Copies of this chain bind each other. A is one copy, B any other.
Amino acid sequence: VGASLKDVAKLAGVSVKTVSNVVNDYRHVSEGTRSRVREAIDQLGYRPNLTARHLRYGRSGIIGLALPELGIPYFAELAEEVIAAAERQSWSVLIDQTDGRGDRERLTSSGARSRTIDGLIISPLALDADFLTAMRAELPLVLLGEQVGPGVADLVAIDNVTAAREATEHLLGLGRRRVAAIGDQRVSAAGTANVRLQGYRDALAAAGIAYDPDLVVPAESYHRPDGAAAMRLLLSLADPPDAVFCFNDLLAIGALRALREAGRRVPEDVAVAGFDDVEECRYTAPPLTSIAPDKAAIAGSALDLLVSRMAGAGPAEPAEVTPPFTLAVRESTTGVSAGV
């Protein structure tokens, strides 16, 4: 099912070089030759074989995108943006799901070593700085999120400390004084939880409120059931919180469920804020206040960085891009309906 340059050349009565010239729109092809070749191409239904072209060029035109799982709305929405941005620049995107497991994250680099992908955008959960540094030496690499700090490889992440501080300040600004946090992770390398916890503590300190470890509940993973379990724990406290900042939206959605089951009103009894601003936030009961990272900017920056790395450009030092975010205020904290 495929005519080659040679077939076209034979039919048009020219050399393959000439056909190649026509296909690639080079100058210096006479009009007559060009149209003869065009006709032969149409007649045979010729399409260039990209695999062969890629072998010649030493690149594939495909980039990898490694994420924990597409079932998590934040990653699905991010993947949507990355693919859309890539398509605009004629790159194809191959998706790898890592489940946040180190072995699978490490495997993502093998696609590059075997020349299937020209570069990789990865949201690493388990890989450490050493491994990522080694990876970066082998393939153009862009890191997403704050799991590892800057200086390891090109990095795209919003300012999580500030974002978490603003979310907490918003809750404090509503007059809440017992503000809990859900999503702490007592794993050494858990950068995301650490920076968000830092912002939470900064806000408390600035407001002159003592840090109460009882109000900080860990979450093993960042799924809805984890948030519900954590909220139940908080509700069982002798002095329960009047507000809770969840380190992602799924945790917050679980917390809303636990509050509903316990008959607590949101936000009257407990105000709830999340992080990521996934679509679902607009339709929870009540709609969820959340930190809204600019996902299109994150995806666009990541792709731009990767493209320039793949072109061999960019500074020797890893770059760091910090896309903007906003706080999307909704009824789960203010009680005011914003309509649909």
Tell me the A residues contacting B by CB distance below 8 Å: 1-2, 47-52, 54-55, 60-62, 69-71, 73, 76-77, 79-80, 83-84, 87, 92-97, 110-111, 113-116, 138, 224-225, 228, 253-254, 256-258, 260-261, 279-280, 282-285, 337, 340
Contact = CB atoms under 8 A, between A and B. Distances in A.
B71 A84 contact: no
A92 B107 CA distance: 13
B97 A50 contact: no
Nearest to A229: B340
Given A71-B279, A94-B93, A51 B54 contact: yes
B69 A114 contact: no
A252 to B, nearest CB: 10
A114 B47 contact: yes
B285 A285 contact: yes
A139 to B, nearest CB: 8
Contacts of A93: 94-95
Secondary structure at the A interface, as helix, strand, loop or mixed, is: helix
B51 A116 contact: yes
Given A94-B94, A284-B285, A50 B115 contact: yes
A94 B91 CA distance: 11
Given A55-B55, A225-B340, A280-B280, A49 B95 contact: no
Given A47-B113, A49-B55, A283-B284, 8 more contacts: A47-B110, A51-B116, A71-B77, A93-B94, A93-B95, A95-B95, A261-B340, A285-B285
A48 B54 CA distance: 15
A70 B60 contact: no
Contacts of A83: 70, 95-97
Contacts of A224: 279, 282-283
A51 B115 contact: yes
A80 B84 contact: no
24 contacts: A2-B113, A51-B55, A51-B116, A62-B116, A70-B79, A70-B80, A70-B83, A71-B279, A76-B76, A76-B79, A83-B95, A84-B97, A87-B97, A92-B94, A94-B95, A224-B283, A225-B340, A254-B283, A256-B283, A256-B285, A257-B283, A260-B285, A283-B284, A285-B285
Nearest to A110: B47
A50 B80 contact: no
A69 to B, nearest CB: 6
Contacts of A76: 70-71, 73, 76, 79
B115 A2 contact: yes
Contacts of A340: 225, 228, 257-258, 261
Contacts of A138: 1
B114 A48 contact: yes
A80 B97 contact: yes
A32 B71 CA distance: 49
Nearest to A114: B50
Nearest to A61: B116
A43 to B, nearest CB: 16
